[in-house]
Amino acid sequence: MTMSALEHGVSGALLKSARLRLGLSQTAFADLVGVAQPTLSAYESGRRQPTIPTLLRILARAGLELRMELTERDDHDDVLAGWERSLTDVERQRLRARGYHLTSDVA
């Protein structure tokens, strides 16, 4: 996954996770946090990205907080992508048939 794709998906995934954690529909969650349902939908799908202050405000209104920690970079994704590139097409298909999602499937 590229950094751009990652950036576009993180906020939406956090908001969707918060909504599901509270057991709410998009409409009910949007009402709770004070945003329009189409805006929430756009955030969750990655079509739009809230600013960090907006994301934190929405989560706070839902009674949640976002905690982040800076750590050393982990090259696990690069190692995994290199390993996947070494697989034959047959091996990739076999893994997908078993339910594995390869990094090339998300790019």
pLDDT of residue 1: 45
Joined together, the tokens standing for residue 101 give 């999602």
pTM: 0.63
pLDDT of residue 36: 98
Q: What angle do CA 20, 24, 27 make, to 5 degrees?
A: 120
What does the pLDDT profile of the chain (107 residues) look like in tens digits?
Answer: 454 566 668 999 999 999 999 999 999 999 999 999 999 999 999 999 999 999 999 999 999 999 988 888 888 888 888 899 899 999 999 999 999 888 877 75
pLDDT of residue 20: 96
Contacts of 48 (CB under 8 A, 6+ apart): 39, 42
Whether residue 95 contacts residue 104, with contact meaning beta carbons closer than 8 Å, is answered with: no
Helices marked H in the chain: 3-21, 26-33, 37-45, 52-61, 76-85, 89-97, 103-106
Nearest residue to 11 (alpha-carbon basis) of 62, 63, 48: 48
Domains and CATH numbers, the chain: 3-61 (1.10.260.40), 76-106 (no CATH)
Q: Is 24 exposed, middle or buried (0-12, 13-18, 19+ CB in 10 A)?
A: middle
